[in-house]
């Protein structure tokens, strides 16, 4: 209260909350008092309290009436409802509502083979919790590594490419549909767009070949 207190310490861990990027407030969509996008239970963004065909989930948004801490678990749990409502919007089908869970399990590794777990008012510490955290993390990452379709099993598209087939026809024969960002437009359009860019001045910090 009006004076400074110095407290000696060995290490300091300064933990802050998530902050909303400024462009959200400039978007014209409704934001809460912290600057995050407001959504209804269908994850639709609001503009003057009216639902729009703009959707948000995760750290960038807050569900009206259900504020939650900015943590990845809430984004993950909202993912399926977000997907279902995007599909429903395109197909003109009924939306689903998503109420964020009220509690989450937090697992923090301490770097020494142990872990602190907290959920609500309960907190535990132990080596077995680190093993649980490690199993959860490895299972999650497996979905983006070993859990992906094997590209070694894709069909041979050599003949299709050699015959100058349409790019979409080639992509349909592969298990992974993504053709890269450059495949979103035709080669002629992409070439014209790139050729309209200004020349990059010579510099020892930038080499253009």
In this predicted structure, the answer to whether residue 183 has a pLDDT above a threshold of 90 is no
For 179, residues 6+ apart whose C-beta sits below 8 A from its C-beta are 167, 171
The whole-number pLDDT of residue 191 equals 78
* Dist. CA 192–CA 194, nearest whole Å: 6
The whole-number pLDDT of residue 82 equals 96
Give pLDDT tens digits for 2-23.
788 888 999 888 878 889 999 9
**124 - beta bridge partners?**
117
Pairing of strands 122-126, 106-109: unpaired
Average pLDDT over the chain, rounded to an integer: 82
Candidate from 42-46, 126-130, 148-152 with smallest mean pLDDT: 148-152
Give pLDDT tens digits for 133-164.
999 889 888 887 777 766 665 555 565 556 55
* Dist. CA 106–CA 15, nearest whole Å: 15
Taken in order 202, 206, 208, 209, the sign of the CA dihedral is positive
Rg (CA), the chain: 25
């Amino acid at each position: 209260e009006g004076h400074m207190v110095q407290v000696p310490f060995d290490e300091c861990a300064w933990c802050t909350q998530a902050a909303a990027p400024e462009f959200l407030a400039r978007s014209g969509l409704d934001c809460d008092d912290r600057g995050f996008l407001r959504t209804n239970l269908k994850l639709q963004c609001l503009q003057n309290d009216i639902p729009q065909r703009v959707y948000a989930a995760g750290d960038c948004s807050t569900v009206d009436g259900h504020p939650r801490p900015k943590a990845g678990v809430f984004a993950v749990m909202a993912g399926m409802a977000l997907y279902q409502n995007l599909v429903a919007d395109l197909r003109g089908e009924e939306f689903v509502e998503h109420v964020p869970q009220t509690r989450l399990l937090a697992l923090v590794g301490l770097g020494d083979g142990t872990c602190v777990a907290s959920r609500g008012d309960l907190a535990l510490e132990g080596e077995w919790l680190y093993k649980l955290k490690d199993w959860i993390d490895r299972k999650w990452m497996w979905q983006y590594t070993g859990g992906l379709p094997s590209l070694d099993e894709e069909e041979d598209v050599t003949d299709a490419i050699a015959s100058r087939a349409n790019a979409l026809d080639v992509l349909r024969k592969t298990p992974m549909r993504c053709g890269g960002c450059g495949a979103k437009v035709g080669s002629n359009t992409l070439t014209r767009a790139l050729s309209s860019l200004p020349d990059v001045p010579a510099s020892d910090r930038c080499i253009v070949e």
